[in-house]
């Protein structure tokens, strides 16, 4: 029996040596991914407001070429684009004008118009219908002679704004534009 135990023990030891040798030299299949880094960049909106003409002489009944255009620069985020049109008190006595068809007047904000910008619709966006204003036919020489100082000449002033479209209604975007303008 002693021999048997000894033989069994030696057999077990041999098996253990074989098992240890097999598992010690065994290669396991493993894999690892490359790191995935999330970098959060800054979104941006850039717009320009340009016009090719600068000299506007009034002649009753004549159309005056006037082409203010808003361009949203490439790479800008989707946005609400606004144009605010300010008229001098006497403009309506001399000039007729209309906003281009693609613009919608913002409810409750006279003279403020908006449109949506997305990367599929880059512009430039014309502000005035047919890129012109018209001097009213009823304007007289006497009326124009009354405009002796440049401060009482009729004026039409355009200011452009753009605010991100994501997460904002058009009304919220206009409110944000006004906050930014007052900083």
**Token pair in block for residue 38:** 């999330």
pLDDT at position 13 is: 66
Q: Tell me the per-residue pLDDT of 52-68, one tens digit each, with 9 for 90 and over.
A: 887 788 999 999 999 99
**How much is the pTM?**
0.78
What number is the average pLDDT over the span 24-50? 83
Instruction: State the Cα torsion 10-15-19-22 to the nearest 10°.
Output: 100
With cut-offs at 50, 70 and 90, classify the pLDDT of residue 17.
Answer: low
| Structural domains in the chain, sorted by start | 47-181 (2.60.40)
In the predicted structure, residue 106 carries a pLDDT above the cut 80:
yes
pLDDT of residue 148: 73
- Give the distance, in angstroms, between the CA of residue 144 and the centroid of all CA atoms in the same chain: 42
Q: How far apart are the C-alpha atoms of 66 and 130, rounded to whole Å? A: 9
What is the arithmetic mean of pLDDT over 31-49? 85
Higher pLDDT, 3 or 19: 3
pLDDT higher than threshold 90 for residue 113: yes
Structure tokens at 76: 């800008």
**pLDDT mean over 7-34:** 71
User: What does the mean pLDDT of the chain come to?
Assistant: 87
Cis before 12 (ω within 30): no
Q: In this structure, how many other beta carbons lie within 10 angstroms of the beta carbon of residue 39?
A: 4
* pLDDT single digits (tens) 74-86: 889 999 999 999 9
The pLDDT value given to residue 43: 80
Contact 159, 51 (CB under 8 A): no
What is the spatial distance between Cα 114 and Cα 109, in angstroms, rounded to a whole number?
11
Taking the mean position of all CA atoms in its chain, how far away is CA 133? 28
Q: Return d(Cα 17, Cα 24) in angstroms, integer.
A: 10
Task: Return the higher-pLDDT residue of 166 and 41.
Answer: 166
Q: Which residues pair with 78 in a beta bridge?
A: none
- Rounded to the nearest 5 percent, the helix, strand and coil shares of the chain are 30, 25, 45
Q: Which has the higher per-residue pLDDT, 139 or 43?
A: 139
Quick one: tokens of 98? 């209309």
Is residue 99 over pLDDT 90? yes
Cα–Cα distance measured from residue 125 to residue 114, given in angstroms and rounded to the nearest whole number: 11
């Amino acid at each position: 029996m002693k021999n048997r135990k000894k033989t069994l023990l030696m057999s077990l030891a041999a098996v253990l040596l074989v098992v240890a040798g097999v598992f010690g030299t065994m290669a396991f299949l493993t894999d690892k991914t490359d790191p995935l880094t999330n970098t959060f960049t800054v979104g941006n909106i850039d717009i320009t407001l340009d016009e090719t003409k600068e000299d506007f002489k009034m002649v009753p009944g004549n159309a005056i070429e006037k082409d203010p255009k808003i361009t949203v620069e490439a790479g800008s985020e989707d946005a609400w684009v606004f144009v605010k049109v300010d008229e001098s008190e006497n403009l309506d006595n001399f000039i007729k004008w209309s906003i281009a068809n693609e613009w919608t007047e913002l409810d409750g904000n006279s003279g403020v118009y908006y449109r949506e910008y997305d990367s599929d619709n880059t512009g430039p966006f014309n502000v005035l219908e047919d890129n012109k204003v018209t001097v009213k036919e009823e304007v007289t020489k006497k009326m124009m002679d009354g405009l002796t100082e440049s401060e009482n000449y009729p004026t039409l002033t355009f200011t452009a704004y753009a605010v991100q479209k994501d997460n904002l209604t058009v009304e919220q975007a206009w409110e944000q534009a006004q906050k930014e303008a007052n900083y």
